[in-house]
Every structure is written in C-alpha cells, then in structure tokens.
Amino acid sequence: MQASSGPSGEALLAIAALAAIQLTAGKSDAQAAVLGAFFTMLGDAIGLLLAQRAAL
C-alpha cells in the first residue's frame, strides 16, 4: 500500500537536521551520543518490522 504524498526527501532531511539540533541543544557529548544511539536503534527496529511484514 502506497502512503499518501508527504514532504519531499529534501524537506525530510532538513526536518531531521533541525530536530537533531534541537534535541541535542544543551546536552553533553555523552548525552547526545545516547540520543543518537537511541534513534539509530529505533530506526533499525522499524526497518526490521517492515522487512518481516514484507516477508510474510
């Protein structure tokens, strides 16, 4: 099923960059690293769920 049209790839990239700046503002390097690792794992988990769904 195709999703409805949304923001362009360029817009999503800009939104992600702005979100990263906002989320890490005022955080230590260690805190920012934890946030980065969390969102990496979140993205990986979403990818795994979608791959499993496609395989079934």
Would the pLDDT of 1 be above 80?
no
1: Cβ contacts below 8 Å, ≥ 6 apart: none
DSSP H helices, 1-56, are 9-24, 29-55
Report the b/e string of 1-24 with b at 16+ CB within 10 A: eeeeeeeeeeeeeeeeeeeeeeee
pLDDT tens digits, residue range 30-46? 999 999 999 999 999 99
Q: How large is the average pLDDT for residues 16-41?
A: 98
